[in-house]
Amino acid sequence: MSDLTAVSLFAGVGGFDLAMQRKGIKTVATVEIDKNARGVLERRFPDATHFTDVTKVTGDELRAAGFIPSRGIITGGFPCQDLSVAGKRAGLAGKRSGLYWEIIRLVDELSPAYLVLENVPGLLSSNGGRDMGTVIGALSTRGYGVSWRVLDAQYFGVAQRRRRVFIVGCLNDGERSSQILALSESLSGNTSKSRKKREESSISVAGSIA
């Protein structure tokens, strides 16, 4: 059983948290502004503390909820509306995607051992690539070794094409993040055996950290 604790920012209905739970990682706090999604989180994770507004939650509150930064993971699928190629592409200067800086604020307050972030591939090209550079730079200057990779959910047990860029940061470790993202994607047929293999791969990031 892992002794890692996790905080889930922009938690949605708990995708990151379910994966971590299956690897024995305890989500002690979630932050989700949508009332309906938060209701799902409260049912799925009754022992966690559930916060509403990422702009108001503090590092001290997360510690009080049971988060231990030295053995802690902060996850966050921060808003993509200003980064998506289908949107107006305001980038990190946009009101929604600019909430990335709330992650950085909490990183400054907590210095967690690990970060696992997710967004649309449009992040890579937003503002001519400068927004991705800003994301990585903000973590690097805070002592995180950072790696990123685009993964497609269709190869990990999900019946849809869903490409997302995953960013992993490891405090004071320049190699660990790339090891965590060293996943293999399989194009094998949709047999029960291959489904099981892809489902196991879908929680590999959480397992590599644990």
- Does residue 170 carry a catalytic annotation? no
Residue type, 41: L
DSSP element (H, E) containing 22: helix 15-22
CA dihedral 51, 57, 61, 66 (to 10 degrees): 50
- Cα 7 → chain centroid: 10
Q: Look at residue 82 and give its three-state secondary structure.
A: coil
* String of DSSP letters for 115-130: EEEEE-GGGGTGGGGH
| Catalytic residue of the set 80, 117, 146, 203 | 80
| Catalytic (active-site) positions | 80
